[in-house]
Amino acid sequence: MKLSNEEKQAILDSCEDESLKVIRYLQEQETKQKPYNLAMLIFTIISATGAVIAAVTGILMYFQ
């Protein structure tokens, strides 16, 4: 009896422990999160820079 690679992989996947499945799922989710986290970091830096500029402008306008 010959098994295709897909069938072999299906058998291996069914034999895996549940904890291994959870670990694999979390690793996949972490990989998917990286671009999102980078985008959020960039937007946060831009927002913080804008807040600092607004604060400095407000202080300068107060003294004029």
| Structural domain boundaries enclosing 51 | 34-64
CA distance 33 to 43: 15
Number of domains in the chain: 1
Whether the pTM exceeds 0.75: the reply is no
Whether residue 1 lies inside any domain: the answer is no
* 9 is a domain residue: no
CA distance 38 to 46: 12
- The alpha carbon torsion through 47, 52, 57, 62 (nearest 10 deg) reads 130
pLDDT tens digits, one per residue of 7-37: 888 888 777 777 888 888 999 998 889 889 9
In a domain, 62, yes or no: yes
DSSP 8-state code for residue 17: -
Averaged pLDDT score across all residues of the chain: 89
